[in-house]
Chain A
Amino acid sequence: MTSETFRIGFLPLVDAALPILAHELGFAAREGLTIELVRDMTWATVRDRLLYGHTDAAHMIAPLAIATTLGRDRPPVPLAVPFVLGLNGNAVTFSTRLAEEVELGEALGDPLAIGAALKRVAATRAAAGKPLRFGVVHRYSSHNYMLRYWLAGVGVRPDQDVEIIVTSPPFAADALAAGDVDGICVGEPWNSIAVDRGVGHIALATAQIWRRGVEKVLAMREAVLDERREEVEALVRAVHAAAAHFIEPGAAEESADILARPEYLDAPQDAILRAITDRIRLTPGGDPIHYPDFMFQYREAANFPWRSQAAWLYSQMVRWDYMAFDSAEAAAASDVFRPDIYRAALAGSGAPLPGASSKLEGGLHEPIGAGSTQGRLTLGSDRFFDGRAFDPDDIQAYLAELP
């Protein structure tokens, strides 16, 4: 193995696409790199391989990179995120029974209206001693935080009115089918697989909860970044080129074909293709609907690691770990995201580079031109469903206002 090889861990999910395509379509080779992909079934295994050098980098849920750095549940190991692999691309899927009880329609509904109906059902179930139970993919996942943000925002208290447990992505549809959970919040293609199996009904896309929510990241040990700085920058260019290709209208079929293979997602090509093209089948046998904001892999500098995204995740970690805010931890969490590496890697490439490293999250209600040091950058609405905005410089005030 040469030093230009990156072993990259991943879980079988559509948003593992960029490193997979960088390898398969030659974007890595063009940067003089070899990518070897290591497939696992749980985030715990992905993390352990990364920490002990089985892999050099990993497709990872963003909050886990922060939790690992802060030493939640284990000795801390500093991780670095020079690149975001995508925004959103997840959904909340209800069991057929729960979908009937909250009277989900044929289209994507309003988060507030569905929330109000869910609140009634949750109260009935809790009174009957059988509280609703939701599955999320990991304790430290954006899925957990998005679901909880929505539930709390519509008056359903997580851990009190409803239970939230962990189901790893490849087993989420099974858990729904077996009746172990009443709903799941998971990445694609596992929602679509639940719908195609006739065991679930997609209630919401997570983009409806936060229009530009940070999702998977490319994570590595900070020590690896420091030792292999130039190669990491080459890797950033390779996955960035893969991202630009990924959203080309003619590329979707081929991308879906590659991702569907047994060594990658080992899942039906048509479910993957629907996710890539933002066409989501909500109900078994229904026609897919087009929701253009479903997943973002490239546009609006989606791959730029905004420090304010990491700060928002930290705010939710404090909120749902029921721990006190700590300004040193908040700073350490923001430092996991490395816009400096992203900028260095893509300087001179023509890719839009934001001038700032942090922004008000949820403050844009319509598309707006943003300051950039290179290229032209327009950012679309990044609203939270409840209209709140997050100021990364005043996390405590934000937390105090949340329900």
Chain B
Amino acid sequence: MRIAIIDTSAGRAAVISDGLRDAGLHDLILVDTTRPLVAQIEAAAPDVVLINLENPSRDLLEDFFAMSRALARPIAMFVDQSDAEATGAAIDAGVSAYVVDGLSKQRIKPVIDLAVRRFQAFSRLQRELDDAKNALAERAVIDKAKAILMKRRQIDEPAAYALLRGQAMRTNRRISEIAEAIVTSEALMGDME
């Protein structure tokens, strides 16, 4: 079974193809989304096409599939009315797929399920990465604010942090918000003595 992967995120495409390979599916085509898709799909003649739901080329691709049906190479959406729940999960995860007509459901389902799990894992990783980035950025701002307070008030670091923390608790805001306000006002008014 030959599977083509079309994903506007190269990272996610890699994560999915790794997963498929681990599951023993080695006949994979990673489609280059910076080049015309249809020619690549036509050349690869895949049995299954995995694509991200929001891929901007989907209307073009579906037209191509409809045309190729006219050329006796039937391709249909994998979605099956009897399996609405699994399809819903795929849509939730952001995966869509097209499958050559006639391929058995038993063979397709594991591929789709795997793609869904990998999409979900990728989103989770992305979120964790974003959170980590935010945490890093927050720490940097807090450090800057502490330095400003230490210089202005001639206090040491624990005292500067205690000031930030106290203000955050009194005003029911996050420490990073207080720190950001300090850094901003320093940028605007720092040279006013």
* Chain A residues within 8 Å of B, Cβ to Cβ: 40-45, 48-49, 51-54, 72-75, 77, 137-139, 165-168, 170-171, 322
Contacts and interface: CB of A to CB of B under 8 A. Distances in A.
Give 7 nearest A-B pairs by CB, closest first. Answer: A44-B58, A166-B63, A74-B77, A52-B91, A42-B58, A139-B63, A42-B59
Given A53-B88, A322-B70, A41 B56 contact: yes
Contact of A75 (B53, B61, B66, B77): B77
16 contacts: A42-B57, A42-B59, A43-B59, A44-B61, A52-B84, A52-B87, A52-B91, A53-B88, A54-B91, A74-B77, A75-B80, A137-B59, A139-B59, A139-B63, A139-B66, A167-B60
Contact of B79 (A40, A49, A75, A322): A75
Contacts of B63: 138-139, 165-166
A120 B21 CA distance: 54
Interface residues of B, number: 26
Interface string B10-47: 00000000000000000000000000000000000000
A136 to B, nearest CB: 9
Contacts of B176: none
A43 B87 CA distance: 18
A171 B37 CA distance: 15
A42 B56 contact: yes
B69 A168 contact: no
B131 interface: no
A77 B84 CA distance: 12
Contacts of A53: 88
B76 A171 contact: no
Nearest to B80: A75
Interface in B44-95: 53-63, 65-66, 69-70, 76-77, 79-81, 84, 87-88, 91-92
Nearest to A75: B81
Given A74-B76, A75-B79, A75-B81, A139 B62 contact: yes
Contact of A168 (B53, B56, B66): B56
Instruction: Summarize B's interface: helix, strand, loop or mixed.
Output: helix
B79 A73 contact: no
B56 A48 contact: no
A138 B91 contact: no
B60 A45 contact: no
B54 A45 contact: yes
Nearest to B77: A74
A44 B91 contact: no
Nearest to B38: A165
Interface of B: 53-63, 65-66, 69-70, 76-77, 79-81, 84, 87-88, 91-92, 96
B112 to A, nearest CB: 13
Contacts of B55: 42
A316 to B, nearest CB: 15
A75 B84 CA distance: 11
A49 to B, nearest CB: 7
Contacts of A166: 59-60, 62-63
Contacts of A138: 59, 63
A246 to B, nearest CB: 27
A137 B63 CA distance: 10
A45 B58 contact: yes
Interface hub of B56, B70, B80 (most chain A Cβ within 10 A): B56
Contact of A165 (B58, B60, B88): B60
A73 B56 contact: no
Nearest to B90: A52
A73 B76 contact: yes
Nearest to A44: B58
A48 B98 CA distance: 13
Contact of A74 (B70, B79, B91): B79
Contacts of B88: 52-53
B60 A48 contact: no
A333 B65 CA distance: 23
B192 to A, nearest CB: 36
Nearest to A322: B70
A73 B64 CA distance: 11
Contact of A73 (B58, B65, B81, B91): B65
Contacts of A72: 66
Interface hub of A73, A77, A165 (most chain B Cβ within 10 A): A73
B52 to A, nearest CB: 10
A45 B58 CA distance: 8
Nearest to B64: A166
A137 B59 CA distance: 8
A171 B62 contact: no
Contacts of A77: 81
Contact of B54 (A40, A167, A322): A40
A90 B54 CA distance: 24
A139 B70 CA distance: 14
A44 B72 CA distance: 23
Contacts of B91: 48-49, 52, 54
Contacts of A165: 60, 63
